[in-house]
A = this chain, B = another copy of it.
Amino acid sequence: MASRSLISVFLVLLIGSGINSSATLEPIIRLPTTRATEADSRSHGDEDGIYCASWHLAAETNNAGGWTQIPSRCHFYVKYYMTAKRYESDCEVVANFSLAFASTVEMAPDGKDAWIFDVDETLLTNMPYYIDHGFGSEVFNESCWDEWVALAKAPAMPSSLKLYNALKQMGFKIFVLTGRREHQRQDTSKNLELAGYTGWEGLILRGASDRGIPATVYKSERRSVLSNGGYRIHGSSGDQWSDLLGFAVAKRSFKLPNPMYYIG
C-alpha cells in the first residue's frame, strides 16, 4: 500500500504540473514557505504538531469527552492556532454553514423562529484575556476572570457578528444563553452592545437556583422553557458541546472551535 500511495502522490504532482485542465491559475503545488499557515509545522516538531492537531480534532468532535487540561506538549499549538489564521477561518466557515442552513428555514409570521447564541468564544472572543493567561494552559482563576468580565471589553468574533446581524435581518428571534452569572448581567449586556450586538429577544444567565447544575442541564432547561413558550429553535451556536447537547436541542447545532478550555 505504501508504494501505491507514493505512485498516487507522484501522479498528483504530475497532474499539478499543468496537464490537468481543471488546474487553477495558481500552481497546484506550493512548496512550504516561511509563511507556514498551520500551527502544526511550528509546534515542538513534526511529531508534537501532528499529535496536537489530532488531539484538537478529538476535542472538537467530542471524542475526548471531558478534559481539564490542554496536553502540555500542545500549549504552543493552541497559542499558535488561536493567534494565526486558522481560528478565524474555522469560525468563519462555521458561520457560513450556519447562515446557509438559516436561509433554508421557512419563517412563520408568528415571530417564534429562534436562534440561540452562547457568549464566550461564540459572540465574544476573550482573546485579550487569554493572551495574558496562557491560552487555557494556566489553571482557571475565577477572580481574574471576573475582573475581565467586569471590564466589558471582549471584542466581537467578527464572523459571529456578521451571522448575528444576518439572522436578525431574516427575522430570527435571538436568545443569548450564557453560563455567566446573573450578577454579571449588566457587564455582559454592556459588553455585547459595545461589541456591536443589539436587539436580542432575551439574555439568559445562570441564576442562584442554577448553581451547581451541569452546563448541559442548565442550557437544556432554558431551551425547554423557550420551546414550551412556542419558540422553534432552529439553530444554536456555541463553542462547547454543553451548549448544544442534552434535551430541547436545536434543529441544527453549530460547534465553534475552542481548544483552550472545556465546560461539561
Q: Which residues of A contact B (CB under 8 A)?
A: 1, 4-5, 8-9, 12, 16, 22, 24, 26-38, 40-46, 48-51, 53-55, 57-58, 60-65, 72-73, 76, 79, 83, 85-86, 89-90, 92-94, 97-98, 101, 127-128, 131, 155, 252-255, 257
Contact = CB atoms under 8 A, between A and B. Distances in A.
Nearest to A5: B83
Query: What is the count of identical protomers in the complex?
Result: 2
A16 B89 contact: no
A64 B254 CA distance: 9
16 contacts: A1-B127, A4-B131, A24-B44, A27-B45, A32-B34, A37-B41, A38-B50, A41-B41, A50-B89, A53-B86, A54-B92, A57-B60, A58-B97, A62-B253, A63-B93, A63-B94
What DSSP secondary structure best describes chain A's contact surface? helix
A42 to B, nearest CB: 6
A148 to B, nearest CB: 14
A40 B30 CA distance: 10
A59 B42 CA distance: 25
A57 B58 contact: no
Given A37-B50, A40-B40, 13 more contacts: A9-B79, A12-B76, A12-B79, A27-B45, A32-B32, A32-B33, A32-B36, A38-B49, A38-B53, A54-B90, A62-B255, A63-B97, A65-B97
Given A61-B61, A65-B252, A93-B54, A32 B26 contact: no
Contacts of A92: 54
Contacts of A58: 90, 93-94, 97
A42 B26 CA distance: 12
Contacts of A42: 29-30, 32
A89 B37 contact: no
B37 A34 contact: no
Q: What 4 A-B pairs are tightest by C-beta distance, nearest first?
A: A54-B93, A54-B89, A32-B36, A32-B32
A110 to B, nearest CB: 26
A31 B43 CA distance: 9
A96 to B, nearest CB: 9
A208 to B, nearest CB: 32
